[in-house]
Copies of this chain bind each other. A is one copy, B any other.
Amino acid sequence: MNCELDFWVIGGDLRQVRLAEALARDGHRVHTFALGGQGEELPGLTAEPCLKGVEQADCVVLPLPALGADGLLSAPLDGEALSLEQMLDRLTPRQVICAGMVTPPAARAAEERGLVLHDYFAREELAIANAVPTAEGALQIAMEELPITLHGARALVVGYGRLGRLLAQRLSALGARVSVASRRFDHLAWAEAFGWGGERTGQLGGWLCGYDLVINTAPARVLGREELADLKEGALVIDLASKPGGVDLEEAARLGVKVIWALSLPGKVAPVTAGRCIRDTIYHILHELEVET
């Protein structure tokens, strides 16, 4: 970082607040808007009352997700009601515009104005970086809910994507006896190469009863009636799959199986880290666009 840039961080939750702080600490000029005035007082960091000056920004960071359920720019910390189009109308192609979870309509709205929305959430390195606080958040939940230690607990991680492998490694490091469930032989070979057990998803019935803790990371309905019924009493299920989730919650309630469906953990358990991860990704985008930071 040897060159000071002008950033605007607009809307979003606590992660965006921490992002703005992290950018300011790196020596950039940072303006925030629609963040409810939150954030530490730092040199170079200004909470703006309006968008005046945004056209001077080198880089504009829109929230994650960019749009809320109401179709407006997501601004949960603030009453601000600003449409994406209003926002984009103030920007120019010279500026780097970043946003999280860019939908096709949003991308089109930008394109019509000759702009590009760089989706930081779509980048693999942010997904990996986010998997770290997600994995820690899952450990925290497991520690809070289980009356046994993770040390010595038998834990099953369903799915071996980014999150699955970080989770399996951390559980194992804390002394849990870890197995990984996947349909794929290469995933099971990875489990073996790291010293974990392997189960084949789709053949879980009959094996689940051995586990104290089952954490689902796969975007599929992996725990239905049969699987839930096989769990031993007191077993804990943590579902990290985004909607519609991997667990039949009704059936779980009927059977008395405790399920925690935990979404959006990074912003909840480690907003400062989550903000830094977004910052790093935005630096990568700027780097690839050859904007010196």
Contact = CB atoms under 8 A, between A and B. Distances in A.
A263 B147 CA distance: 17
A284 B136 contact: no
A175 B132 contact: yes
Interface string A153-195: 0000000000000100110011100000000011011101111
A273 interface: yes
A209 to B, nearest CB: 16
A124 interface: yes
A262 interface: no
Chain A: number of interface residues, binned into ranges: 35 or more
Contacts of A139: 139, 143, 174
Contacts of A140: 140, 143-144
**A interface: dominant SS:** helix
B174 A129 contact: no
A133 to B, nearest CB: 5
A249 interface: no
A166 B193 contact: yes
Contacts of A51: none
A244 to B, nearest CB: 27
Interface in A121-142: 123-126, 128-129, 131-133, 136-137, 139-140
Interface string A95-138: 00000000000000000000000000001111011011100110
